């Protein structure tokens, strides 16, 4: 993946944020790579019935609106595709995807993803309008990083149209906006303002985070991040173990360290502010990693928040 950084992110890097620089600064691969497979999650092949759709789980489908993003995160699972125009959907692709969703009524939730659906606000607004007409679709999710990468762009005319489409949609059915945040440095005053704008649409706000070595594999950093998101009305939904995709080796943390951090966060933070810690097992789904309150499969006792053993 090449390097692409917005003016907003460049300002943060210039002001000395290592956490932002490590997420976005391009680095050459050194020596041999540990993870050979590119499409390790099988998105392109087994689970894609129609271009753009990934239908892995019965009731919900992921719709990749494009491979365009306003900035390129070096740890992205789809790093080999991001920025490529090959993910753009033609009118026919969109029609086929809508037909598939309409003809598959067990799909009650559509997750607009990419790339970033907010990188192409006009396309996304049109997709939302088409989805409103499908009665079996009860919930719509949108995953985006634009509010953290180019927060001022939310005031542009096409973005305002998208936000008003979301506002209209949120009157009729649940709309969830998932922002991707890794580090408290990212939550600048402009980002606060952008998140507030999104919240005003009536959409529910959630976040997702990826564990990144040298960026956020630290209990104080993540406590600060999740608490700050919670204060902004954003509920931390998932924290992922970094995917085993080629080129991401430098970001992967030891799983035991991640487990210790998440266990400590469960003690420190309000329950609502603690995301579910998952690993996206290739082809299987997002499997929760157990926290260290239980000993293996023995459910007769657990450890409490003071690390004391308690019989149940």
**Which parts of this chain interact with ligand PLP (CB under 6 A)?**
54, 56-57, 60, 62, 111, 286
Nearest to 53 by CA among 94, 10, 5, 23: 94
Please classify residue 246 by burial: count the beta carbons closer than 10 Å to its beta carbon, then call 0-12 exposed, 13-18 middle and 19+ buried: middle
Could you say whether residue 89 binds ligand SF4 (CB under 6 A)? no
Query: By the 8 A CB rule, do 208 and 178 touch?
Result: yes
**Residue closer to ligand SF4 (CB basis): 54 or 76:** 76
Q: In what order do the strands lie in the sheet with 294-295?
A: 294-295, 298-303, 309-311
What element of type H or E holds 114?
A: none
When CB distances are held under 5 to 8 angstroms depending on the partner's kind, the choice from ligand PLP, ligand SF4, none that residue 114 binds is ligand SF4
Alpha-carbon distance of 240 to 59, in angstroms, equals: 21
Lookup result for tokens 């990212």: 186
Which of positions 98-137 make contact with ligand SF4 (CB under 6 A)?
Answer: 114-116
Query: By the 8 A CB rule, do 240 and 201 touch?
Result: no
Least Å distance, CB 281 to ligand PLP, is: 11
> Which residue from 8, 55, 64, 78 is in contact with ligand SF4, where contact means CB under 6 A?
78
**Residue closer to ligand SF4 (CB basis): 79 or 165:** 79
**Residue closer to ligand SF4 (CB basis): 55 or 78:** 78
Alpha-carbon distance of 66 to 162, in angstroms, equals: 16
3-state SS class at 198: helix
**Residue closer to ligand SF4 (CB basis): 72 or 141:** 72
Query: By the 8 A CB rule, do 5 and 26 touch?
Result: no
Alpha-carbon distance of 146 to 180, in angstroms, equals: 9
Token pair listed for 284: 């299987």
Tell me how many residues contact ligand SF4 (CB under 6 A). 11
> Which residue from 8, 22, 141, 145 is in contact with ligand SF4, where contact means CB under 6 A?
145
> Which residue from 5, 61, 76, 265 is in contact with ligand SF4, where contact means CB under 6 A?
76
Could you say whether residue 69 binds ligand SF4 (CB under 6 A)? yes
> Which residue from 13, 41, 50, 73 is in contact with ligand SF4, where contact means CB under 6 A?
73
Our measurement of the distance from residue 194's CA atom to the centroid of its chain's CA atoms, rounded to an integer in Å, reads 17
When CB distances are held under 5 to 8 angstroms depending on the partner's kind, the choice from ligand PLP, ligand SF4, none that residue 60 binds is ligand PLP
> Which residue from 9, 50, 82, 107 is in contact with ligand SF4, where contact means CB under 6 A?
82
Least Å distance, CB 44 to ligand PLP, is: 12
What element of type H or E holds 120?
A: none
Instruction: Tell me which residues touch ligand SF4 (CB under 6 A).
Output: 69, 72-73, 76, 78, 82, 114-116, 145, 180
């Amino acid at each position: 993946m090449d390097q692409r950084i917005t003016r907003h992110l460049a300002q943060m890097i210039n002001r000395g944020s290592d956490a932002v620089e490590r997420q976005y600064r391009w680095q050459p691969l050194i020596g041999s790579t540990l993870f050979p497979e590119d499409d390790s999650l099988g998105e392109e092949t087994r689970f894609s019935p129609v271009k753009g759709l990934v239908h892995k789980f019965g009731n919900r489908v992921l719709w990749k609106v494009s491979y365009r993003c306003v900035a390129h995160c070096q740890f992205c699972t789809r790093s080999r595709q991001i920025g490529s125009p090959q993910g753009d959907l033609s009118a026919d692709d969109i029609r086929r995807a809508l037909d598939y969703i309409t003809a598959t009524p067990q799909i009650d939730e559509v997750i607009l993803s990419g790339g970033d659906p907010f990188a192409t606000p006009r396309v996304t607004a049109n997709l939302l309008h088409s989805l409103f007409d499908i009665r079996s679709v009860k919930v719509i999710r949108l995953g985006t990083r634009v509010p953290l990468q180019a927060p001022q762009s939310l005031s542009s005319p096409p973005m305002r149209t998208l936000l008003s489409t979301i506002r209209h949609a949120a009157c009729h059915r649940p709309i969830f906006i998932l922002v991707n945040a890794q580090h408290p440095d990212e939550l600048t005053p402009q980002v606060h303002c952008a998140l507030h704008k999104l919240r005003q649409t009536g959409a529910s706000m959630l976040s997702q985070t990826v564990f990144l070595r040298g960026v956020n594999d630290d209990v104080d950093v993540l406590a600060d991040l999740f608490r700050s998101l919670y204060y902004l009305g954003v509920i931390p939904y998932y924290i992922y173990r970094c995917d085993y995709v080629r080129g991401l080796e430098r970001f992967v943390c030891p799983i035991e360290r991640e487990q210790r951090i998440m266990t400590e966060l469960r003690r420190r933070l309000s329950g609502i502010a603690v995301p579910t810690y998952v690993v996206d097992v290739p082809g299987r789904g997002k499997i929760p990693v157990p926290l260290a309150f239980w000993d293996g499969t023995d459910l007769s006792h657990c450890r409490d928040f003071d690390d004391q053993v308690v019989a149940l």
